[in-house]
Amino acid sequence: MNRILIGLSVLIFCFSCNQKSLEFPAEPTGWEILETPVDVSLRGLSPLTSDIAWLSGAKGTWLKTLDGGKTWEHGVIDGLVEVDFRSIQGFDAEYAIAVSAGQPAVIYKTSDGGKTWKLKHQEGTSAFLDGITFSDQKTGFVFGDPVDGKWMILKTVNQGESWFAIPNLPEVVAGEAGFAASASSMIAMGGLVVLGSGGKESNLHVSKDGGESWKKFKSPLIQGEGSQGIFALTGLSAGEIVCVGGDYLEDGMSQANIGVFLTASNDWVEIQSPPSGYRSGIAYFSQAEWLITVGPNGSDFSHDGGLNWKNFSEEGFHAVKTGGATGSVWASGANGKVAKLMF
């Protein structure tokens, strides 16, 4: 009996120690800036773990690290030195998909860790692709600015080997557009697909059946000009969608730069204190239950689902993403800037 009690005590002690090791501080402490071998703008960001991350950006650039940013592999996608690849989706150390912004409007895929890239899809001369999102390893979407009065939304069901336009596209008003600032203004979570827009109007276009049908909800973010609206989205565990943006011509303006949408009731939540400026990227760090948002003039976090925000760093970035279930958050920005969240 004594041996059983001693064994249980040891188990309880070990469990308590393990629980304590999983605890997070009240807030992040800043960013660890990583040294990279490039100096171009990096808007494409796809961390997979705390060690593995893919990035892409201007001058056809791609990067990959397998050791948390200590060393990097990098190159130019298919020799396209004039093309800005603002979107990238990594699947493992070998497979990734990169999407251009502007012309040519192309989608490339590598299956050998970046050594070679193969063209998988190309759109016409009027296309401008804004972002990529995947709901699982096989099913993904790429969206672009409207063409002939309709959103451009492409879908794959075979991990990007082929792409097709979805038949039912959400409505667009004249002057409404998407943003490729962080390639994250469209997200897919299971059957839920959400696209955020800006310009003349800033709307959420929501599909709850994988893109088969859509409903539009006007956002509370600033809108009316081509520089205003929703620039990035992320989803929370209960189906909430958190949108950030503002006006990219007014870095420090904090009015109407955040929205929290409840997909269960189709309602917007009233924000109490917003982020401290225009924000181009957002990610949900589920392990700590933090939302992290970034922009040119700094970084903010929220621990209450986006109702209240606090600035924790003056470091500016374009994009921010979480590294899977490994407890890491990555950010990317201008001049080859890459960082990992410290806490």
Angle, vertex CA 194, rays to CA 188 and CA 195, nearest 5: 120
Instruction: Label the pairing between strands 53-57 and 61-65.
Output: antiparallel
What percentage of the chain reaches a pLDDT higher than 70? 94
Residues sharing a CB contact under 8 Å with residue 270, sequence separation 6 or more, in sequence order: none
The mean pLDDT value for 193-211 works out to 97
- Mean pLDDT, the chain, as a whole number? 93
Predicted pLDDT of residue 326: 78
- Give me the CATH topology for the region 33-342: Methylamine Dehydrogenase; Chain H (2.130.10)
Higher pLDDT, 21 or 111: 111
**For 244-289, what is each residue's pLDDT tens digit?**
999 999 999 999 999 999 999 999 999 999 999 999 999 999 999 9
Residue 9 has pLDDT above 80, yes or no: no
Enter the tokens of residue 247.
Answer: 């006006």
How far is it, in rounded angstroms, from Cα 52 to Cα 133?
18
The domain locations on the chain are 33-342
Residue 11 has pLDDT above 50, yes or no: no
Enter the tokens of residue 176.
Answer: 């409404």
The mean pLDDT value for 156-185 works out to 95
Burial code (b: 16+ CB inside 10 Å, e: under 16) for 307-326 equals: bebeebbebbbbbbbbbeee
Residues sharing a CB contact under 8 Å with residue 18, sequence separation 6 or more, in sequence order: none
How far is it, in rounded angstroms, from Cα 19 to Cα 315?
32
Enter the tokens of residue 37.
Answer: 């071998």
> What element of type H or E holds 295?
strand 290-295
Instruction: Label the pairing between strands 228-235 and 106-110.
Output: unpaired
What percentage of the chain reaches a pLDDT higher than 90? 90
Predicted pLDDT of residue 119: 98
What is the pLDDT confidence band of residue 343, given thresholds at 50, 70 and 90? very high
Predicted pLDDT of residue 22: 56
Residue 219 has pLDDT above 60, yes or no: yes
With the CA atoms of 114, 116, 122 and 127 taken in that order, what torsion angle do they form, in degrees rounded to the nearest 10? 40
Q: What is the DSSP letter of 288?
A: T
Q: How many whole angstroms from its chain centre is CA 87? A: 9
**For 33-74, what is each residue's pLDDT tens digit?**
999 999 999 999 999 999 999 999 999 999 999 999 999 999
Residue 325 has pLDDT above 90, yes or no: no
Residues sharing a CB contact under 8 Å with residue 147, sequence separation 6 or more, in sequence order: 124, 126, 127
**For 306-324, what is each residue's pLDDT tens digit?**
999 999 999 999 999 999 8
